[in-house]
Copies of this chain bind each other. A is one copy, B any other.
Amino acid sequence: MKIGAVEAGGTKIICATGTREGEILERVKIDTMTPDKSMPQVIDFFRKNPVEAIGIGTFGPADINEKSPTYGFITTTPKPGWNGYDLRGEFTRNFDVPVAFDTDVNGAVLGEYLWGAAKGSASAVYMTIGTGVGAGAIIDGKILKGISHPEMGHMLVRRHPGDTYKGFCPYHGDCLEGLTAGTAIGARAGKPGGEIDRSDPVWQYITYYIAQALFSIALVLMPERFILGGGVMARDHLFGTVREKFLEISNGYMQFEEVLNGIDSYIVAPGLGGDAGIRGALGLAIALLRRG
């Protein structure tokens, strides 16, 4: 029997079936419109492709607390129709199978841990820098969560002296997301990030902010590995700069072999490439089945 996976993103909802070994078999992409338009197509996919469990990795914020009365709901999003939407419930009402529910980045870090860049590590952090900034972590083989999922995208960073951009986060202005997400990059240059030259100072600013956030996260979690994904990090040249700035900020403080001798394998690109999210969602379903 096949396993189902849903990666619910801001612009697309990817639905897939796969194997217990993490391979994707079928997949479709559905535009993220309002739930009443998108969800019937999602449900239809799984009617045609029956599965024994479904894993959902969703954009957030979402209620991932299994004991909460609103477990499985999207919470406070400005996205029309999705605020307070019972996403997990739509699946449990339609299919009599176990349904796992977590954030997209928690799914992605699980996928990378099972089959990607963090395979064989005991701990890892996956951060996506794209239209938003978010991160998930695996510690001792388990997805990290407390009273909610992490919200590392809103960490505060020190401003680069050359950077005068105010930041676009409605809560914090110039938090990590407010300064480094795609919108923030484009706003500085007046054109999309993809058209900005490699020599533009914006890349110095954002790599400085990302390196600061990684340093702070490292001091809290001490993970074996950082995996950076998302549209912004698809620009490969940013990895080298982030690694350099991380070492500069640490200034010799992190005397661990993993960091000092292996900075190129300490801060890495996703091993699953663009499939980290959907294969992570598959991983969420598999983990739920194993838990019983």
B219–A147 contact, CB under 8 A? no
Q: How far is the CB of A71 from chain B (nearest CB, A)?
A: 14
Q: Which of B171, B172, B220, B253 contacts A172 (CB 8 A)?
A: B253
Q: A222 vs B150: C-alpha distance in the bound complex, in angstroms?
A: 6
Q: A249 vs B149: C-alpha distance in the bound complex, in angstroms?
A: 19
Q: With A146-B221, A222-B145 in contact, is A151–B253 under 8 Å at CB? A: yes
Interface check A154, CB cutoff 8 A: yes
Interface check A148, CB cutoff 8 A: yes
Give the one of A142, A145, A149 with max B CB within 10 A: A145
B76–A171 contact, CB under 8 A? no
Q: How far is the CB of A62 from chain B (nearest CB, A)?
A: 13
User: Within residues 116 to 157 of chain A, which ones have a CB less than 8 A from any CB in chain B?
Assistant: 122-123, 137, 139-140, 142, 144-157
B251–A147 contact, CB under 8 A? no
Chain B positions within 8 Å of A123 at CB level: 146-147
Give the one of A75, A140, A150, A220 with max B CB within 10 A: A220
Q: With A171-B252, A253-B151, A253-B171 in contact, is A220–B217 under 8 Å at CB? A: yes
Residue on B nearest A151 in the bound complex, by CB: B219
B158–A158 contact, CB under 8 A? yes
Q: How far is the CB of A121 from chain B (nearest CB, A)?
A: 10
Q: Which of B146, B158, B215 contacts A139 (CB 8 A)?
A: B146
- What are 10 sample pairs from A and B whose C-beta atoms fall under 8 A apart? A123-B147, A137-B220, A139-B139, A145-B222, A146-B223, A147-B258, A149-B222, A172-B251, A220-B220, A220-B221
Interface check A216, CB cutoff 8 A: yes
Q: A220 vs B140: C-alpha distance in the bound complex, in angstroms?
A: 16
Residue on B nearest A137 in the bound complex, by CB: B220
Q: With A139-B139, A156-B158 in contact, is A255–B76 under 8 Å at CB? A: yes
Q: How far is the CB of A132 from chain B (nearest CB, A)?
A: 14
Interface check A212, CB cutoff 8 A: yes
Q: A129 vs B219: C-alpha distance in the bound complex, in angstroms?
A: 16
Q: With A140-B142, A251-B172 in contact, is A156–B215 under 8 Å at CB? A: yes
B156–A222 contact, CB under 8 A? no
Q: How far is the CB of A181 from chain B (nearest CB, A)?
A: 15
